[in-house]
Structure formats: C-alpha cells, structure tokens
Chains A and B, each alone.
Chain A
Amino acid sequence: MACARMVKHLRLPLLLLLLALAAECNSMSPPEKPDKLGCRSPDKETFFCWWTPGSDGGLPTVHHLYYKTEGQENMRQCPDYHKAGSNSCFFSKTSIWVEYTVIVEASNALGNTSSDPLTFDLMNIVKPFAPENVTVVVNIEDSPHLTIQWHTPSNIDTKSGWVTLKNQLRVKPDKSKIWKNYASETQTHFTIYSIDLGVVYMVEVRCAIDNSWSEWSNTTFVKVPNFSRKDNSFWILVFSLCLIPLLAAMIILILKRKTVKKYILPPVPSPKIRGVDVQLLKSGQSEDVINAMLLNQRFPVMIPWKDQKEDYLIVSDKETSYLPLEKKKIFILPLAMALDSEVQSKETSEVDHFPKDSESSSEESSDKTESSQLLTKCSSANVLNDEKANQLKGVTEKIFQPFGICGYVDIPRHEHMQEADYSRVNEVNGDNILIMKKENIPHTLDTQGQEGSVPDNYSMVKEVNSDNVVFLEKHSESVNASFKAKGYIDWVNQKPKNLHMTGHSEMGVCPQLVGCEYVDTVPPPAVI
C-alpha cells in the first residue's frame, strides 16, 4: 500500500522531470566546427594558432587542437593552450621546411566537430609584429629634418643570424593621400630631410623577416614649426653687424674727404723756379717779377751780340810769360751771357753749380768734357781778332761758346800785350754786371814783373757775393805786392769743390773762397 502511494506521488515529478528533460534535449547539439583557423610565427622559431569557435550546441564545449608534421602518422595535441590567449595554441618547438597539418576539434557531450585542416610550412607563416616605441623628433636648426627611431619587436633573435630584419617607413603630410616610402636596411633609425615647414606629418614603420612584412606601426603625428626663429635672428644679427662698420667707414670718409681726395688724387707737381715766388708772380707786380727773374736767373738776360769789338777781360799770366799765353785757355765769361738752351740742359744737371758766369771758369775745369763740347761749339767764326791771335805764336785761344754767343777771353794780339793785357773794369752796371773794356793799359803796369805797385786802375775783388756777383773794392789800395805783381784777378769760385788750386798756387793764390782778390787763369781743359 505504501509503495503504491509513493509511486503515485513520484509519478508527477518524474513526469515533469521527463518533460523538462525532453524540452532541453531538443536545443542541445554537438558543437559547431571551429572556424577561421590561423597560425603565425613572429620570430621564425615559435608559432601560435588560433581559431574561432562555433556555437557550442548548448553544452559546454571543449576545443582541442591536433597537429602533425609531414612524415608522422599520429596527431599530437597542442602543447600549450594558454600562452597565446583563449582559443589558441602556442608552439614553442617547431620545425621548418616541413609541412604542418593542424586541426581543431570542438567537443561537447553530444559529440565532436572538427575544423578543416590547415597545412602550412613555418616559412610561410612567418610574420613579425610591428616595431615598437616609434619616436619622431623634429629638428629645424640647420635644415629642417625628422629623426625617426624605433625598436625591433621583442623576442626576435637577430644575433645568431637566423633572423634578419629589414625595415621600412612611410611618411605623409596629414592632408595628403600619398605615402612616401623609405627603406632602412637593418638600422633602427632614419632621417628625412625633405620636409616642409608648418606641416603636420604622419609617420609609420614596419619590419620584415625574409620578405614577409609586419603590419604598420601606430601612426605618430608630428608638427613642424612654421619658421626658424633662430634662423631669422641670426641673419638680423649678421646684417646689423655688417652695417655698423659700413656706416662708420662712410662717416670717416665724409669727414676726411680732403685727405682722401689728396690720397686718391695727389696734387700734380708744378714746376718751380728756385727763388721765384709763385705767389709773387701771381700778384703781378712787373718790376718785382723782373727783379725776381733777374735775381734768380740762371740764365741772365741776353745781350745782343756785339760784332765788332767785344768786351773782354784780358788776363795774362806774367810769370810764365809766353807760355801761358800760348796755352792759355782763358775763358772768363762776361756775366751778361745768355745761356744757350742746349747748354742749359747740360748744365742743369749740375745742381746749383751751374756756371753762370763767374763760376764757369772753375766749373769748366771740373767739367772738362763739357767745356770741350762747348768749346767745339764755338766755331772759329766766333773767334775774334784772329789775326791778332795768329800773331802770337802758339797762343791758343780758348774759345768758349756756351750759349750761342761766344764770349771769350782773348789773348792780346800785340806784343806788348803782355805788358798790358788787363782790361779795365769800365763800368759796373747793377749789382752783377761788369762791363769791361779793352783798353790800353798804361804801361806803367808791368805784368811781367813781380814787383811793382798795383796800378790805380785795378780794383780788387772785395767779395764774391753769390754765384755770379763779384764785389769789387772801390778803392785801390795796395795789397799784397806779391799778389798784385802777378796782375791777376782771381776769380774765385765760391763753391769749395770747385775751388781749384791752379798752378799758380805757389804764387800764393789765396785758397780761400771768399776774400780772394785775384782772378786766376784757369787752365782750360782739353783745349788745343
């Protein structure tokens, strides 16, 4: 009885249970086969596979991966289901250049379902991860450039040579659509120079193992600044620094323009006449001009050629009697001689020594060649009193023609010339013109004799003033008899170097330049 009651009681729940079970059993099924199998090796050593599970059929489903390599018979199970995440399998020990076959099986209480097999070679599934830590630095100092650096993906063994990485990067301005690719072999840095200022650039990097490229890295954005401030200020500084010395130079030039002008255009030397005051000339006083000219003359005013009788200063050498007469080469030029231009040119070579007149005697001695030239110039036509000259035996004449007018001292032609071959200063004209006339000198003057008084009509040279001025003493004092006895008038050149001691020096010719009183006969150079 009790059993029957229990069954009655249990019948309903059992029935309910059976119904429930029946209901559930209708939605359960074996799992769907896993899908989308994939495998990848990021380092050419290990690889992992993944799958997408299908529906589990309402029952807890377990997935198993089985693989085998070529040449093996049995499938082996995945060694590691966890390392690579869920629904994945990680293989740490692999073979290369062998064919793998992988299958994933989903199983639940109701059954198993296997995926399609996947066959691959390790070399085919090699694909590294993208490079890490990509940094881009903008540098605009010298010339704008981007410096890009990155790290190789981790866990890749490049040291043994088993893995060789190649790198590639690409850059584009954010508004452009075209990427520019650059190859970088094994180095993990790169510099790009061709960038524009004021643009935002996008940079991506990827790497490859054995020609199998990774994905592109995450994009890095950089903005290139618009202008180089340092660049500008540098040029401003350079410009201003250059400007300051330029301005200073200009100011100096303007202030010192006269000096500059003198430097650039030096004044042209104008001819100067010694003693002639240009300013005086300019002032225009004619008298002064003439005086100035005359005073400073090197070339005194020409006097007309006197054809007949010339005024000579007759000088004779008493002591050596005829001898000097014969050989006499006397040339004492009248002061009033105009210089020939040619002679002038020759004479100008001697500075200040130029024989105006009085000095010419001494000059000539020192300047023998010149005199000889000059003598030759003086043609015989200019010799006066030729007949007289011939009268004297062996009397040589020295003909000196300096300028075109020969002026010369003639030797007296008559016999008693010896006795009286002095000329008398006739007139003193001006300061520096002596006109001497040939006169018969009173016989009282015995030139040959050593003794005797100086005739009255001698005047002594008091002073040789300048180059061409002889001051004669107005009084006739008896001077040193010995000197006078010679009857010389010494023309003494003032210039010490032209001082010559003639052969008469033993006669006591005064060697001094100034204060000598006699005119000496100058031995002529190279004449006859």
Chain B
Amino acid sequence: MAQRRIRGGKLVMVLCVVAMCRAVPINDLIYRASQQSDQLHALSTMLTQELQGSEVFPIDRVHACHTSSLQTPTDKEQALQVSESDLLSLARSLLQAWSDPLVVLSSSTNVLPYSAQSTLSKTIQKMQEHSKDLKDGLDILSSKMGPAAQTITSLPFIETNEIGQDKITKLLSCFRRDSHKIDSFLKVLRCRAANMQPQMC
C-alpha cells in the first residue's frame, strides 16, 4: 500500500517535470535558434562582402543554386501565411542542404588569393559550427512540433571535388541567400511563438 503510494507519487512528479519541461523551453529554443541563424547570416554576409569588394552588387546568377528547386515564399505576405511546421521544415531542409557544400568550401580555399585564404577558412569554420548548433536545435524543436515539421527535402549537392574561384563566389552568394531565408523563417516563427511577449518580435 505504501509502495503503491510512493510509486504514484513518483509518477506524478515525473509527469509534472515533463509537463514543465515541455511547456517552458520551446520559446527559449526558438529564440536561441534565431540567434544562431542570425549569426550565420552575418558571417556569410561579411564573407561575400570581403570577397566581392562591394556591399550590394554584383550578384552572379544565383538562380542556379542547388537549393533553387525548393519552393519558398517569395514575399512577405506569402511568408506570413506559411504554417509554423512548414517554416521549420523549410529551414531544416535548407540547413541540411548546406552541410556538404560547406565542407567542400573549406577544402577549396587554396584557390583564392593568399590574402583572402585565412579569412575564408576561419569564417567557413565558424559557419560550420553555427550550422551544426542550429541543426541540433532545430531537430529538437521539430520533435516537439509534430510530423509536418519533421520532413526534410533533400537537396543534393553534386560537386564533391575542389571548385574554382568563380564557383566559390557563386556558392557563397547562394549560401548568403539561403542563410537569409533560414533567418527570416525562424524570426517569423519566433514572433508567432511569443504571442505574450511582444518584445521578442
């Protein structure tokens, strides 16, 4: 009798803990994820600016990115209509699509002019780290959000050998766009999750 009571008590406690654990950190997870994506985008922006020598232009034919096949919203209204699960799924897919290309990029720095090499390798390394952290966080987040968030569209990156300089710049431009997409989606998600806290938006 006493044992049953103890077991019951323990169960209640575990449930409470689980409930609390579930309830609290989604917002924190999303906040943290958006911070990571912001960092990632900042790094990529800095890199492209350094390499191309200009803030805005020129942009190469970015429509030839390997992630172009993924259907993403093209303006604000469209983006605000996407569900949270879909937003998360898109972000995860894009992120997944860049894990291999980043590896290729990091091994291709020697084709660049010497002055740019160290900057490039350091920055690419940081981008890889942030990308990994973000991927882990989004995996946990998606597990809490249901099956729609779990789907990842495969976007294979074909090139596996070293690539030339022009490809590097194109790749970096593509990455800049995709990291911006990820960042925007997560920020929209963050604002939607924090209904009670407008200061998060």
* Interface residue ranges, A against B (CB under 8 Å): 44-45, 70-71, 93-99, 118-121, 123-125, 157-162, 164, 186-187, 210-212
Contacts and interface: CB of A to CB of B under 8 A. Distances in A.
A96 B191 CA distance: 20
B58 A119 contact: yes
Given A99-B59, A119-B58, A121-B59, A164 B187 contact: yes
Interface string B54-67: 00111100110000
Interface in B160-201: 177, 180-181, 183-184, 187-192, 198-201
A212 B42 CA distance: 9
A212 B62 CA distance: 20
Contacts of B74: 95-98
Contacts of B62: 99, 121
Nearest to B35: A185
**Which secondary structure dominates where chain A touches chain B?**
loop
A93 B190 CA distance: 25
| The 9 A-B residue pairs with the shortest CB-CB distance in the complex, in nearest-first order | A161-B191, A161-B188, A211-B42, A95-B74, A123-B180, A164-B187, A124-B56, A161-B201, A95-B75
Interface string B37-56: 01001100100000000001
A212 B190 CA distance: 20
Contact of B38 (A44, A119, A211): A211
Nearest to B79: A162
A119 B187 contact: no
6 contacts: A44-B76, A97-B72, A121-B62, A121-B177, A160-B80, A162-B79
Contacts of A93: 75
Given A121-B59, A211-B42, A160 B188 contact: yes
Contacts of B72: 97
Contacts of B79: 162
Contacts of B187: 161-162, 164
Interface string B74-108: 11100110000000000000000000000000000
A120 B54 CA distance: 12
Contacts of B184: 162, 210
Contacts of A96: 74-76
Contacts of A186: 199-201
Given A210-B41, A211-B41, A212-B45, 4 more contacts: A97-B180, A160-B76, A160-B191, A210-B184
Nearest to B45: A211
Given A97-B72, A124-B56, A159 B63 contact: no
B190 to A, nearest CB: 6
Given A161-B187, A161-B191, A94 B75 contact: yes
A73 to B, nearest CB: 14
A120 B55 CA distance: 11
Given A97-B74, A162-B184, A164-B201, A120 B190 contact: no
Given A160-B188, A164-B201, A125 B38 contact: no
B169 to A, nearest CB: 14
A120 B56 contact: yes
A70 B63 contact: yes
Contacts of A123: 177, 180
A96 B75 CA distance: 5
Nearest to A121: B59
B183 A187 contact: no
Contacts of A211: 38, 41-42, 45
Nearest to B63: A70
Nearest to B46: A211
A334 to B, nearest CB: 94
Contacts of A98: 74
